[in-house]
Amino acid sequence: MIHDQLRAEARCEQPEADADEHVYAAEPIQLDVTDPASVTAAAAEISDVTVVINNAGAANRSSLLADDLTDARALFETNFWGALTVTNAFAPALRANRGTVLNVLSVLSWLAIGDAYSATKAALWSATNTQRIKLAPDGVHVAALHLGYADTPMARDVDAPKLAADDVVRAAYDGIETGELEILADEISRQVKAGLAGPIEGLYPQLDRAST
């Protein structure tokens, strides 16, 4: 099963030894984002949540051009519908607490070389914009995190440079704290996003007829 972990800051204490440091007590909640009942139960358990991070994701090498789209549909259940289900379940608490949603996307939100995986991330990026305009009047901050490969179990077999997980987390939290809408964790994400304003052949050289 695919799980998402939501961490709620339960309380903040100041140790006597150092008044400038804080200890944050967190309660991890495990749930299956493809099971609405599981998500609803988690939302009922931690109604004081202020930050929801949609970081559950899957990759199964499925293709949008396959004769059987079962695997692609399964990927959307986790990467797209799962994230929407989580956000919707926690929306009442986020409105009440003027909280934040962080959707963990990918540079492949803007680059279709990942086939069905790219499609799921592009769909969630579009949905993220919808969430922003719908939730902003209620004081809810909706951010998106874009990055290339990170040094996580999902990318263990990838032979390419990877971001350290700590650096990704740091970029995400810094972006949340400063109220950013689009958090770009690495140079490749910045380059690809900038490329969206140019000709499509700039992102997909194989489409450049002049070079064929």
Tokens standing for residue 34: 């493809």
| Per annotation, catalytic residue among 117, 149, 173, 204 | 117
Say if residues 126 and 133 touch (Cβ distance below 8 Å): no
Q: Are strands 182-184 and 100-104 parallel, antiparallel or unpaired?
A: unpaired
Q: Is 57 exposed, middle or buried (0-12, 13-18, 19+ CB in 10 A)?
A: buried
Q: HSE, CB side, 13 Å, CA atoms: give it for residue 83.
A: 27
- HEC profile for 79-139? HHHHHHHHHHHHHHHHHHHCCEEEEECCHHHCCHHHCHHHHHHHHHHHHHHHHHHHHHHHC
Question: Does the annotation count 117 as an active-site position?
Answer: yes
Name the residue with tokens 């909640």: 29
Distance CA 139, CA 51 (A): 13
Tokens standing for residue 5: 């972990």
> Which residues are the active-site residues?
117
